[in-house]
Amino acid sequence: MTARYLGMNRSDGLTVTDLEHISQSIGDILRTPVGSRVMRRDYGSLLASMIDQPQTPALELQIKVACYMAVLKWEPRVTLSSVTTARSFDGRMTVTLTGLHNDTGQPLSLTIPVS
């Protein structure tokens, strides 16, 4: 039998489902700069170092790789199948992660703003 966990919402303290907790955790991983956690220096992603860079195809590839590697390393509950980026006219960029929840096989898709 697979263990089911209830997590806690970081903003209001209410309980969240497993998928909501995974989404919250991935957002935390991607928004945390590597080296900023005191006792876990390698936690996080390299996205912070890419902010304010010219939005080129090379940067989009670097962002995709940074997201994939961070989730692969720090979120064992999911297996990613794709990472896509989208730019808006005002210069904002979002990353959409799609994959599977490893315990249930349920599809997972979440969009995170990165700028």
Q: Could you read off the pLDDT of 53-87 as tens digits, one per residue?
A: 888 899 999 999 999 999 999 999 999 999 999 98
Across 22-106, the runs of DSSP E, i.e. the strands, are: 78-87, 93-101
Please report, for the chain, the start and end positions of each structural domain, with discontinuous segments joined by +: 7-113
pLDDT in tens, 16-37: 888 888 888 999 999 999 999 9
Contact, 18 vs 4, CB < 8 A? yes
CA distances from 68 to 25, 44, 61, 115 (A): 14, 12, 11, 17
User: Which CATH number is 7-113 given?
Assistant: 3.10.450.40
Interstrand relation of 78-87 and 93-101 (parallel, antiparallel or unpaired)? antiparallel
Cα 75 to its chain centre, rounded Å, is 9
Torsion sign over Cα 17, 19, 23, 29 = positive
pTM: 0.85
